[in-house]
Structure 1
Amino acid sequence: MTSSTAALEISSGERGQLPDGRAWQTIAGGYRCQSSGENYFQIEYTPGQETARFILLSGDNQLAELDLWFDWFFSLNATLQTIDIAEEDTVVSRVSRSGFYQRTELWYQGNNGGKFPLQWVVNEQGGRHPLRAEPPKGEVYRRHFHSLGMDFSLRHLDPQEDLERFTDWMNQERVALFWEEEGDAEKQRQFIDSVMQDPHKHPLIACFDDEPFAYFEIYWALEDRIAPYYDCQPFDRGAHMLVGNQRFLGGRFAQAWFNGVSHFMFLDDARTETLVGEPRADNRALLKYINGTFGWKKIKEFDFPHKRAALVMCKRDEFFRSMGGV
């Protein structure tokens, strides 16, 4: 799977809308798009090119209205890297794919965003690492995925609200095969409590259109079991994951949620340059989705005491060059 597979198919003369109701239609050489009210602008673009041009009405400052259009058009065209903003024949601004998707205010709702000050501490095991911000409660990330026509969101796990579904998910045969944490509600409550009390972990529930479907256990790699197996850096991040709502199994959903949770981890701290994972080496379904998806690559296999694992890795620069193609 590559980001190019997510490009939306647009036919000549087609019409559509953004999630907020603003309209677009195809015209010769590009698109006619509604910025606000009765105001429209044009997009000039040749499919497959790295640069597009958004042409605004002269003297009409519509830049604040364009963020959803940037997201839509980057999602539509996986090869596109730069959008020039022009008034008639004059380029007045330029937006890069990488820079646009690193704007925390558009999707990120956490409490860190790379602003938590650097302070080194030593944990009970004698490991030295940066002091981590306490994970926030509630929703921390939301983004619309145009290929699905759905919102993907992440929120902090709520033990009262989520215990029953979490217990159901952990006891599904395909989940238990890899997590090995099956058991009754009391066991799952203890599991949740242990994660929430661990300062290097952040338990999240993922939703499509606010329907819970997956659990993500975000962790700081330097304090995790994976650290000795590669050249771990202070702000590397990783995630353990499971999809519990079987309605959302399959490649088209996996590409979206993998993109979304990776995006969140990079936005959560600007100092995070590398994301890592260590799924079981025989988890072919997950590895199929991961390898080659938005900068993720399988690096090697190695042995934990309890399993044969695959080391997978994603670099910030490579991720943001392809981010948004869904």
Structure 2
Amino acid sequence: MPDSTRAPWRSPREIPAGPDVLAAGPPPVPASAPPFAMRVARPGGADLETLHTWMNRPHVERFFERAWTRERWAEEIAGQVSGTFSRPVLVSEDGRDAAYIELYRAARDVVGEAYRSEPHDVGLHIAIGEEQDTGRRLGARIFAAVTQAVFAADPRCRTVLIEPDAANAPARRAAERAGLRFGGEVALPHKKAALFFADRPEGDHGRE
């Protein structure tokens, strides 16, 4: 279980933010994004075992680079849940856990300095648990479904983005298949990233 004596969790990617950005609060976690269902991951039990297993698989570790111990993953999940920067989410399809995503407020992340970010923008990291699932375009389907679900859950969110490693060809193909707009490559402190954006459809102002 997480060590309560440690300093409060903070993502190494998080940057100082002004009150208008902080006021946006944590990113939304839609209950579902048909045909998928989503839930916030728990820092123990089956969720922890699933994430620990997935993150130590070569196809995930190559770009996620988090082949951590169970203890460190428990700290990570609990820290995200207790904070307001990001949310750790398990995505299931037909009752089977299929992917891990992190939803985060892009304006509070290092990527927010690489484009004209707004307080309610949401970023998305993704890891597909089973390598064979990448062959059924699971990533593209998750990008498309989750993007629309986030827009519905946060009426003030105008942009959803992903920023995979520029060398991550499968993620780039998935973004293109999902209809995301390519925004160029940028140098972030930890990688060279390819930016892809989904914009709220014109005329869709959400429900204020």
TM-score, normalising length from structure 2? 0.81
Deviation at 1:211, TM superposition (A): 0.6
Instruction: State the identity %.
Output: 28
The aligned counterpart of 1:253 is: 138
Decide which structure has the larger Cα Rg and report it: 1
Within a 5 Å distance, the mapping from 1:18-97 to structure 2 comes to none
Counterpart check, 1:209 vs 2:94 = yes
Q: In structure 1, which of residues 301, 311, 319 is the aligned counterpart of residue 195 of structure 2?
A: 311
For residues 134 and 277 of structure 1, the distance between their equivalents in structure 2, rounded to whole angstroms, comes to 17
Deviation at 1:292, TM superposition (A): 5.2
Q: In structure 1, which of residues 261, 266, 270 is the aligned counterpart of residue 151 of structure 2?
A: 266
**Runs of 5+ unmatched residues, structure 1:** 1-122, 144-150, 321-326
CA RMSD of aligned residues (A): 2.4
Q: In structure 1, which of residues 299, 308, 313 is the aligned counterpart of residue 183 of structure 2?
A: 299
Over residues 296-322 of structure 1, what are the superposed CA-to-partner deviations in whole Å (9 max), with x where a residue is unaligned?
12111111121111111111117x8xx
Higher strand share: 1
Q: Which residue identity does 1:313 align to in structure 2?
A: F
The aligned counterpart of 2:105 is: 220
Q: Which has the higher contact order (CA 8 A, sep 6+)?
A: 2
Contact 2:42 2:78 in 1 (8 A): no
Deviation at 1:176, TM superposition (A): 0.9
- Number of equivalenced pairs: 188
Partner SS, residue 31 of structure 2: strand
Over residues 99-151 of structure 1, what are the superposed CA-to-partner deviations in whole Å (9 max), with x where a residue is unaligned?
xxxxxxxxxxxxxxxxxxxxxxxx993533142456789x71142xxxxxxx3
Summarize the Cα distance change of 1:292–1:175 in structure 2 as closer, same or farther, 3 Å threshold: closer
Higher helix share: 2
Over residues 176-226 of structure 1, what are the superposed CA-to-partner deviations in whole Å (9 max), with x where a residue is unaligned?
111111122112112222322330212110000111011110011111111
Over residues 267-306 of structure 1, what are the superposed CA-to-partner deviations in whole Å (9 max), with x where a residue is unaligned?
1211111112211000011101112523x12111111121
Q: In structure 2, which of residues 69, 79, 95 is the aligned counterpart of residue 184 of structure 1?
A: 69
Within a 5 Å distance, the mapping from 1:101-120 to structure 2 comes to none
For residues 68 and 177 of structure 2, the distance between their equivalents in structure 1, rounded to whole angstroms, comes to 35
Contact 2:140 2:177 in 1 (8 A): no
